[in-house]
Every structure is written in structure tokens, then in C-alpha cells.
Amino acid sequence: MTYRVTAVCMGNICRSPMAEAVIRAHLHDADLDDVTVDSAGTGAWHVGNDADPRALQALRARGYDLDHAARQIDATWLEPGRAPDLVLAMDWSNHEDLRRLGVEEGRLRMLRSFDPSLAHLAHGHEDLVVPDPYYGAANGFDEVLDMIEGASRGLVDDLRRNGVPPA
């Protein structure tokens, strides 16, 4: 069976699609073909839209590819047989929205909690947040991409080291 990972941010046009592209590439490079990744947002503002052009530019500059249409996560995503095995929140607001939606605590993690350099941080620490670059300068997307790459490498290492949990 396939192990399913879903990255979630607010609108699904910046952080979570960037995470989807990066994690997918790292999974492919690690030959972890039994893991799939997708993304969604907690809000519906951008449903159907492509990723933010600045996110796409940052991704392409580092060699990542993304074909994307924004989606919103809702309760139907959590139905038996459909629920992701691991849901990765980008910030604490997303984390709380996902918890309220019904994502089980054992399936819900902050993406940056997989970054080995942050492993010492307690749950709730602000440094586990991937900040939203939407209203900031273009270089904010590169900074976010740095964070996502570090966490993605840690996630892939974790899956490789511990084995892909059964779905």
C-alpha cells in the first residue's frame, strides 16, 4: 500500500505546494516510490489557481517542477480509506485548523519538526513555523524554500531509517 503525505498551509499557493514539489523530488531521489505527496490549504480563497508565480520561480530556479491547482482540505479528506497517513502543517494556525478538522494527533506534524537541526525544539516552538511569504519580498520564497528543503531531507531520512509505516 502507498503511504500518503499531505502538506498544508493556508491557501495552497505558496508554502504547501512548494513543500509538495520538494518532498516529491526528495522521495524520488531516495527511491521511496511507495510514498506519495500532495498539498492543500485550510481556506478556499485560491481553489483551482496555480501556485503563486514567485513560488514557482523559486522552485524552478532550484530545479523543482510543479504542476498545481490549489485545493482545500476538508472533512472528506479524512474519511476512512482516504485520509493521509501524515499531514504536515506549515504553521501553528494551520496545525490548529487541522486538529479542529479532525486530523488525528498521530498523523499531524509540523513540517519543520523533521529538520534535524530543530529536533531539540519542543512542540509549540515558534521556530518550527514555515512563515508565509505571500505578503513579503520575493526573497522570502527562497528563505521558505531553504526551510522546506531542510525539513524534506529530514522527512526522507526518517522514512528511510524507520521504514515507511504501513498505511
Active-site hit among 85, 97, 115, 132: 132
Residues of the chain with pLDDT under 70: 165-167
Looking at the DSSP bridge assignments, the partners of residue 9 are 41
- 31: closest CA among 164, 145, 167? 164
CA atoms within 13 A on the CB side of 25: 17
Please tell me the predicted confidence (pLDDT) of residue 18: 98
The CATH number of domain 3-161 is 3.40.50.2300 = yes
Active-site hit among 15, 71, 109, 112: 15
- Rounded to two decimals, what is the model's pTM? 0.96
48 and 69 in contact (C-beta within 8 Å)? yes
Please tell me the predicted confidence (pLDDT) of residue 162: 84
Please tell me the predicted confidence (pLDDT) of residue 138: 81
Tell me how far apart the alpha carbons of residues 19 and 114 are, in angstroms, rounded to a whole number.
13
Tell me how far apart the alpha carbons of residues 108 and 89 are, in angstroms, rounded to a whole number.
7
Predicted confidence (pLDDT) per residue in 25-52, tens digit:
999 999 999 999 999 999 999 999 999 9
9 classed as catalytic? yes
Please tell me the predicted confidence (pLDDT) of residue 166: 57
